[in-house]
Amino acid sequence: MVVHIALYKWKSGTTPEQIIQALKKVQALKNKIDGVEDIFVGENFHKESKGFTHGVVVIADNQNALDEYRNHSSHTIVSREIEEIEADGLGFDFKNLY
């Protein structure tokens, strides 16, 4: 199993509706890509968030499935939309060790 985590800070003026629409598009990718087991999206409520307000977690069967997710045309489109409204982002990928 491979886990992909993306965290976001948004540009000033980004509306909640823009954020919701972008994250819904990310979550919809779950049904379009073989080997992507689940996609979670949500708003942060941890006190030590360092300004990151939303996150995405993708659970993939393996690295190939995660690569397919990243290279999928629908992901490319939503990634561009997110880049237009994000002030900062953080990505973190890992393989489950146990």
Banded pLDDT at 23 (limits 50, 70, 90)? very high
- Paired tokens of 43: 């708003």
In this model, does residue 96 exceed pLDDT 90? no
Specify the pLDDT at position 97: 85
pTM, rounded to two decimals: 0.93
Into how many domains does the chain fold? 1
Distance CA 58, CA 80 (A): 18
Domain of 26: which CATH number?
A: 3.30.70.100
Domain that holds residue 54: 2-95
Q: Report the run of H or E that residue 26 belongs to, with start and end.
A: helix 16-28
Specify the pLDDT at position 33: 94
